[in-house]
Amino acid sequence: MDSFWLKLPKPFFILAPMYDVTDEAFRQMFARYGKPDVLFTEFVSVDGLTSEKGWAKVVRELYFQPNEHPIVAQVFGADPEKFRVAATVIADLGFDGIDINMGCPDRTIIKQGAGSALIRKPDLAKKIIEATKAGAKGLPVSVKTRLGYSKTDEMTDWLGAILSAKPDLLTVHVRTTKELSKVPAHWELVPKIVKMAKENDVPLVINGDVMTLAEAREKAEKYGLAGVMIGRGAFGNPWLFSGQTDISLKEKLAVLVEQIKLFEKLYGGTATNKKLFGGHTKNFAVMKKHFKAYIKGWPGAPALREKLMTAESSKEVGDIISLYLKN
């Protein structure tokens, strides 16, 4: 099976996977209003995917619809054999690719030996890539990681180890684990990463501090990248990848309500949730992080946002916004 990555027009642009953000409701807004070239799921534990008890819960994060292709399932863990089995499961679910998270800086993930903890275990990281390929039934296997754990000068050895395992694509968030997002992304190091990737014939995507499609295009051209991944720049902006910037306030608020209604339908205590996910719900409070993203940039925004933070349902959100637009 040919990798879909090789068939994409270059440069291509990707919506970054973000935990408790890039759920189905969020991705659907992008699929409808400004679809990127590739979508990723939230990351899913291979431990959960390979256990009968865990499967019922994590399958919720792997739900997608036909309008999201090409879509990649992102997974995390520390056991190569579980990656092999999880890859087979993902292939059977109809995904276009599998991505291994080797960059998450969350402490709970690191304590499991997963995410960016693997930066300190390059031999294990390579075994995980090999095992995932073995179970993937021909689907492309990519890796998303960071420059290093504590220092940027870990980059050469760490990325060199990953590239030697020949993933179908490498995405690098150009910060270290310790830096989180507290410092500017190290775009000055990208030329060296590009050189390493080309020497290993692995397509390269860079992630970090890109906020607009125009900026993504400029950086892709400047550095000779296969693609650019955008995360925080996508918050509250499902039109991002369309390049459209003249979105009216009324349209923004309408799409926010649309997203919240879909979230509630999928993840609330609904018949749809019970049918799709066996009653495994999500807290409505997850949606509140999106209020600030959609509602900013005009004088009345803070007051509206404050009112919405008290809402506990899509109906309450809709009522508050309707009243706001009438005044």
Query: What separation in angstroms does the CA of 294 have from each of 17, 240, 251, 260, 301?
Result: 19, 12, 10, 12, 9
Q: What is the predicted pLDDT for the residue at 238? A: 97
Q: Specify whether 104 is catalytic.
A: yes
pLDDT tens for each residue of 24-50 = 999 999 999 999 999 999 999 999 999
pLDDT at residue 109 above 70?
yes
Residue range of the domain that includes 315 = 249-326
For residues 233 and 290, state if they share a domain.
Answer: no
- Other CB atoms within a 10 A radius of the CB of residue 231 amount to 20
CATH number for the domain harbouring residue 139: 3.20.20.70
1: pLDDT strictly greater than 80: no
Number of structural domains found in the chain: 2
- Pair (206, 61) in one structural domain: yes
Q: Which residue has the tokens 């040919």?
A: 2
Give the domain-ending residue among 214, 242, 270: 242
Q: CB under 8 Å to 1, separation ≥6 — which residues?
A: 137, 138, 139
121 and 198 housed in the same domain: yes
- State the Cα angle at 290 between 285 and 294, rounded to 5°: 145
Select from 242, 270, 298 the last residue of a domain. Answer: 242
Residues 227 and 287 in one domain: no
Residues of the chain above pLDDT 70, percent:
100
pLDDT band at 316 (very low <50, low <70, confident <90, very high): very high
DSSP string, 143-158: EEEES-SS-GGGHHHH
Considering the domain architecture, whether residues 238 and 264 belong to the same structural domain is answered as: no
Query: If DSSP codes are grouped into helix, strand and coil, which group holds residue 103?
Result: coil
Q: 229 pairs with which residues across the strands?
A: 14, 207
Which tens digit of pLDDT belongs to each residue from 262-315? 999 999 999 999 999 999 999 999 999 999 899 988 888 999 999 999 999 999
Q: Is residue 2 predicted with pLDDT exceeding 80?
A: no
- Tell me, yes or no, whether 50 and 133 share the same domain: yes
Structural contact between residues 175 and 142, judged by C-beta atoms closer than 8 angstroms: no
What pLDDT sits at residue 327? 75
The mean predicted confidence, pLDDT, of the chain is 95
Do 238 and 253 have their domain in common? no
pLDDT value, residue 52? 83
Residues 63/267, Cβ–Cβ less than 8 Å? no
Catalytic choice (90, 104, 139, 230): 104
The whole-angstrom separation of Cα 61 and Cα 277 is 9
* pTM metric for this prediction: 0.95
Pair (273, 223) in one structural domain: no
User: Could you tell me if 150 and 296 lie in one domain?
Assistant: no
Of 242, 267, 283, the residue that ends a domain is 242
What is the spatial distance between Cα 292 and Cα 129, in angstroms, rounded to a whole number?
A: 38
Please indicate, yes or no, whether residues 148 and 42 belong to a single structural domain of this protein.
yes
281 and 209 both lie in a single domain: no
Residues 129 and 266 in one domain: no
Give the pair of three-digit tokens for residue 86. 């999880």
